[in-house]
Every structure is written in C-alpha cells, then in structure tokens.
Amino acid sequence: MDIGVIVSILDATLRLSTPLLLACLAGLYSERAGVFDIGLEGKMLASAFAAASIAAVTGSAWLGLLAGIIVSVLTASLQGAAAISLKGNQLIAGVAINMLAAGLTTFLGQQWFQQGGRTPPLQPGGRFTAIELPFTQELAGVPILGPIYSELISGHYVLVYIAFLAVPITAYVLYRTRFGLRLRAVGENPKAVDTAGISVTRLRYQAVLITGVLCGFAGAYFSIAQGSGFGNDMTAGKGYIALAALIFAKWRPVPAMFTCLLFGFLDALQIRLQGARLGGIEIPVQAIQALPYVLTVILLAGFIGKAVGPKAGGVPYTKER
C-alpha cells in the first residue's frame, strides 16, 4: 500500500467518524447526567430532514444547520419532558423518539416535496463545501507531510472541524468547570446534588438540550454536508453505533473520539475491502460491519476491561417531600 491509499482511507475515516463523534458526544452529556439516551438516532434523523428541507428552500447551508439544531433540540425537549419531568421510562422514550422521527420525516417529506420522501437536491449554496486550509497548495509537493496536510487534514467540511473541536471543549467542560462537576455528580448521585441545593431537573434539562444541539450538528452533516438532500432513513443506524462507541469509550470524551475514529475506520475499510482476500480467505464485508457491535458486546460483558455507566443512569429523580 502506498501513501496515497493510506491517506485516502484515513481521509474517509475522518469523514465517516464525524457524525458518530458528534452523536457520541451528544449522548455523553445526557448519559453523564443520568438520562439514558437511545434516541440519538431519531434526533439525528429529525435534524437531517429539517436541515435538508430548509437548505433546499432557502438555499443556505447555515440556515439549514440552524433548522436542524432547532428541530433536534425540540425533539430532545420532548424526550426530556417524558424522561425528566414526567419521570417516564427513559429507554421507552428513546424508542418512541426514534420511531416518531422515522415516521414523521418520511411522511412530511413526501407531503412537502412529493419525491418519495426525499428532499429536493440542494443548490450549490445549500450545501457545505470543503474548506481549504491555508498553504494547502504550497505544501502539497512536500513528501509524506504534504499529502497528509493537504488531503487528510485540509479539505473537509466545517462540521468535521467542529466535531473534533468539540472533543477538547467537552473534556474541559466535563472535568474543569463547575457545570461539568455537577453534571457528573447528577449522573452518579442526584440526591447529593439535590441536597447541595442544586436543581437536578434543571441540570438534566441542560444536559439533554446540549445533546439536542450536538445531534443537530450530526444530523445536518448527513444531509447537507456528506450528502446533498435527505433520503429515507438516512442515518441508517449510526445513532446506535454512536451509542456503542459511547459505551466503548466508557463515557469519556477523548476515548470517545478514538472509538469513533476506530468505528469510522472499520466503515472506511469495509467499503474498500469489498471482495478483498486475506491469506486466501475472503473476508465477508458483513463481518467488518458487525465488528463495532460485537466489540461493544464483548466490552460490556467485561471480557476486555469493564464498562460501567453512570450509577444513576436510567432512574428518574424524585425529590423527597
């Protein structure tokens, strides 16, 4: 394999891991606050649809992104209302959100655009374009570092850079701010937080809303950056892979990034490995596709390390009276 192939696989890895990373960090906030979220998929799907619809109508990718975020946040609030205020089952709330998004996006898409659930193709301004970092041309000729800089690091959508920037920001917020400390505390021992005079409900809502914003970015990435327009079930289970990545990373931001890169890499590899052979045996593509899920199951079962989630996760908090 020459450097060109390696760079192109890694380039695809970055592109494919971006939505995973955004969704994974999204899930991190709400799960760290003690709200299980299996509705990442639904929020992304809702955002992807809203972003593509608005971008198609207005011709502006930024307005599309904004619409995606707003819709995702609204969906998250609905989920929050069920899981936090009404003390409902958080898992079932997530299932309902996923189903609602799958049904409504297809239904409204068909109603509004009459193209079998697809949104119209985007005009040039309606889609994010790749960003050329400075000195790309000048450095392209330098051996090894040249292609790495000009093809791997430069030339991505703005959302890719936002996603990777969100990692240090999340790590800082989580471990170095008062909000982060309280967020982690509310996921482990909400009663202690309540006793300290801090509102558990308020903190959990804040976490769920941040989840909504990040899922908004992730969804928009599918329909107005990576793709051009929304198609049925566009997120194709990526929300669940993000959930797997979150568990795999043991709910920590930096490992989350590496896990998403690994899962993105497996995805890139599986596209490239169609029909490839290893030692005379053909590797089934499906085996690589299933690998993230298998790895997560094995990790959860404690065969390689142990993943233990936030202690208060999944339990609605009831204030004593």
Partner 1 sequence: MSALRPLPRWADLVLLPILNLLLAFIVAGLVVLIIGQNPFVAISAIATGAFGNGYNIGYTLYYTTNFIFTGLAVALAAHAGLFNIGGNGQAYVAGLGVIFVALALDQYHWAIVMPVALIAAAVFGGVWAFIPGYLQAKRGSHVVITTIMFNFIASALMVYMLNRVLKPANVSGPESRMIAEGARMPRLSEFFPPFQYTPVNLSLIVAIIALFVVYVLVWRTKFGFALRTLGHNPVASRYAGMSNSRIIMIVMTLSGALAGMVAFNEVLSVQNRLVLDFVADAGFVGIAVALMGRNHPVGVAFAALLFGALYQGGNELQYVVPGLTREMVVVIQALVILFTGAMEGLFRPGLQRTFMLFSPEQKAEAAARETVGSEG
Interacting residues toward partner 1 by CB under 8 A = 38, 78, 81-83, 85-93, 95-100, 102-104, 106-108, 110-111, 117, 237, 240, 243-244, 247, 284, 286-287, 289-290, 293-294, 296-297, 300-303, 309
DSSP conformation class of 99? H
CB of 7 to partner 1, least distance (A): 28
What are the residue ranges of helices labelled H in 114-252?
136-139, 145-147, 158-176, 178-188, 190-195, 200-221, 238-248
CB of 171 to partner 1, least distance (A): 24
Tokens representing 13 are: 């890895």
Select 10 or 35, whichever has its Cβ closest to partner 1.
Answer: 35
CB of 267 to partner 1, least distance (A): 13
Tokens representing 107 are: 């239904």
Q: How far apart are CA 151 and CA 136, in angstroms?
A: 8
Closest CA to 309 of 88, 22, 90: 90
Place of tokens 């119209």: 120
Select 7 or 300, whichever has its Cβ closest to partner 1.
Answer: 300
Select 124 or 303, whichever has its Cβ closest to partner 1.
Answer: 303
CB of 162 to partner 1, least distance (A): 27
Can you name the residues that pair with 156 across neighbouring β-strands?
131
Closest CA to 315 of 26, 34, 80: 34
Region of 88 (left: φ > 0; alpha: ψ -120 to 50; beta: rest) is beta
Length of the chain: 321
Q: How far apart are CA 235 and CA 14, in angstroms?
A: 17
DSSP conformation class of 141? T
Q: How many CB atoms lie within 10 A of CB 254?
A: 12
CB of 271 to partner 1, least distance (A): 15
CB of 179 to partner 1, least distance (A): 27
Select 104 or 198, whichever has its Cβ closest to partner 1.
Answer: 104
CB of 52 to partner 1, least distance (A): 17
Query: How far, rounded to the nearest angstrom, does the alpha carbon of residue 219 sit from its chain's CA centroid?
Result: 8
Select 80 or 147, whichever has its Cβ closest to partner 1.
Answer: 80
Closest CA to 139 of 156, 158, 152, 129: 152
Select 90 or 259, whichever has its Cβ closest to partner 1.
Answer: 90
Closest CA to 79 of 108, 40, 48: 40
Select 98 or 119, whichever has its Cβ closest to partner 1.
Answer: 98
Select 136 or 232, whichever has its Cβ closest to partner 1.
Answer: 232
CB of 298 to partner 1, least distance (A): 9
